[in-house]
Structure 1
């Protein structure tokens, strides 16, 4: 079992390796979130990751790897589970309105407790199917949620006209990119280097194509 100082050092080293400078107190709040997730996980089975050090790598650092690509004032994190990447992003860059969406009741109960305990201003959690969520967001994030086609079919209506969809993937999904629904275009594919992970990670950045009206994209 890793001690808090060990986890603190691991997280700070990982952030430095990724070139990320967070606001004062953010590292401690991230570790508070990890600790809360660890406690709830014993009862509610929120994540298959049990080891605290592995949580730092696979949850915190993996989520924060996309921080340089997040922009705008409103972010929706779809299929967020226990708040990934939405909560680490909210802690690392406060001041943005963040909506955490998941259909699992026990996960949403945890999210609401995390928002309360961590005093995350501007962050709220909703239990809902993605296709039933309303609103427009400058940035939409999704981590291991579904195929690109399914993500956009269910949640494409949430993306603002000039917004960007950040889809977190393992290897670059060439077949999924080739099957992207009409009305959406891949703007970039970035390789993500997550310190200590030892697995391939990529980020697919998607925007609206010319003539997209804002309706949900078809499969």
Structure 2
């Protein structure tokens, strides 16, 4: 089965979620022929390099029903689309400054009938009058910038709660990037969650509110 790599680590899917996950492959292949959002090489490894990578966030963070999550610089819909399938009771707002990418995201979300996804063709700095519980992102900018953009958009957390504010997926040596950011993030090596070669240098970076 094409999505075996996902089922190896996540098995508790409803019938609807399974169908939605299975549909991702043909949907992205179809869209990619019109608008190239995923490299040819990666589309063949979609479930490992994009879907499972996105779901690593679900392995370390639980989003309660009703949570509002912003996917900053969503690109072709990652991590937002897989997370929206995984958390059907959580609202996801997927934003990208490149219009053709948002067109793909809208097409995929519509085909999957994801009622918990909204989209915007917008720069993150232009989002006004909205607050989110969590911001997620995948390697779109240095941590310093991601945190600067996220902070004004986050709801205030109760003083006693250590709630994640920003959860981003990054690769490689992050020592300098973290030093430059002035943040004190928690890092999880994804390889420890999913011992597949692809994840060896990949991390989940969590900055609390």
Q: Same fold (TM over 0.5)?
A: yes
Matches for 1:59-208 after TM superposition, within 5 Å: 59-68=50-59, 69-72=61-64, 73-134=67-128, 135-162=130-157, 163-171=164-172, 173-181=174-182, 185-193=183-191, 194=194, 196-198=196-198, 199-208=200-209
- The structural deviation recorded for 1:53 is 4.1
1:40 alignment partner, one of 31, 39, 57:
31
Alpha carbon RMSD of aligned pairs, Å?
2.0
In structure 2, distance between residues paired with 1:197 and 1:34 = 21
In structure 1, distance between residues paired with 2:2 and 2:207 = 34
Structure 2 spans left out of the alignment, 5+ residues: 158-163
1:57 alignment partner, one of 48, 55, 62:
48
In structure 1, distance between residues paired with 2:173 and 2:131 = 27
Aligned residue pairs total 196
Q: Hey, what does 1:212 align to over in structure 2? A: none
Structure 1 residues 33 and 45: alpha-carbon distance in aligned structure 2, compared to 1, 3 A threshold: same
Query: Deviation above 6 Å: which 4+ runs of structure 1?
Result: none
**Conserved 8 A contact 1:80-1:143:** yes
Structure 1 residues 203 and 11: alpha-carbon distance in aligned structure 2, compared to 1, 3 A threshold: closer
TM-score, reference length from structure 1: 0.81
- Could you say which structure has the higher strand fraction? 1
Structure 1 residues 38 and 143: alpha-carbon distance in aligned structure 2, compared to 1, 3 A threshold: same
Structure 1 spans left out of the alignment, 5+ residues: 1-5, 209-219
In structure 1, distance between residues paired with 2:111 and 2:24 = 9
Structure 1 residues 48 and 80: alpha-carbon distance in aligned structure 2, compared to 1, 3 A threshold: same
SS across alignment from 2:155: strand
TM-score, reference length from structure 2: 0.85
